[in-house]
Amino acid sequence: MPTRSIVKLGVNIDHVATLRQARGGEYPDVIRAASEAVSARADGITVHLREDRRHIQDRDVFHLKESISVPLNLEMSVAEEIVRIACRLRPEKVCLVPERRQELTTEGGLDVVSAKKRLAWAVARLQDQGILVSLFVDPIPKQIEAVYDIDADFVELHTGRYANRTGKDRVRELERLREGAVLAHELGLGVNAGHGLDYENVQPVARLPHIRELNIGHSIIARSVLVGLRNAVKEMRALIRRASR
């Protein structure tokens, strides 16, 4: 029987920048935060360069690209300005996500079916720069099939509905994620997942078939207030590794 690959952990450090921006200035330092996460054996660093620059700033992404020894995953909209920045930056990976100015955090997956033309343009432009491209989608078959149709490299399954449900509703959402992961894999897409995952709910998702990486931010940064960032990353990494063995 083949051995399962251990699921990787991408640590999203957006909310380190949220704290910095609350007062202005330079602290806490996102580069130092990324270094602490990498020291705790995070497999990647994720940041979302939003159009309104509410937390991560342009200078942050360029400094991170120069400073970290693990892949940088840039979450981004398909706004032309942001696509241009990504093409200059050339991170190892980008994840295209929906974005609304009014939202507190990303509220759901992309509607790839309705926006195929624009998304296909962004995917091709980014891939021309040697960047792997993922699309953040709900576990809906027609959306996953649309990701395949526009030649993206990965899907990132939106786990927010699973994270926000309890009891039988959560079990149903987990099954939707499993079915989505299987379909994406059968189509030849890589499969990542994230949103709303924490220390209590991460393991069932890490056990799903074909998941390569989980991108987790808020719960790790919140936990770090109590135990420090290295310990918070180590605790999450240990949970994922135990579940995905």
pLDDT tens-digit series, residues 113-145: 999 999 999 999 999 999 999 999 999 999 999
pLDDT of residue 244: 80
In the residue annotation, 75 being an active-site residue is answered as yes
pLDDT of residue 24: 85
- Residue tagged active-site, from 15, 36, 75, 213: 75
Please write the tens of the pLDDT for every residue from 33-80. Answer: 999 999 999 999 999 999 999 899 999 999 999 999 999 999 999 999
pLDDT of residue 1: 33
Domains of the chain: 8-244 (3.20.20.70)
Please write the tens of the pLDDT for every residue from 190-245. Answer: 999 999 999 999 999 999 999 999 999 999 999 999 999 999 999 999 999 999 87
- Residue tagged active-site, from 15, 158, 195, 210: 195
- Rg (Cα) of the chain, in Å, rounded? 17
CA distances from 19 to 3, 15, 24, 238 (A): 41, 6, 9, 26
Report the pLDDT averaged over residues 171-189: 97
pLDDT of residue 23: 87
Report the pLDDT averaged over residues 15-25: 92
The answer, as to whether pTM is greater than 0.75, is: yes
pLDDT of residue 109: 85
pLDDT of residue 69: 94
- Residue tagged active-site, from 48, 55, 158, 210: 48
Please write the tens of the pLDDT for every residue from 76-105. Answer: 999 999 999 999 999 999 999 997 655 445
pLDDT grade for 2, boundaries at 50, 70 and 90: very low
In the residue annotation, 48 being an active-site residue is answered as yes
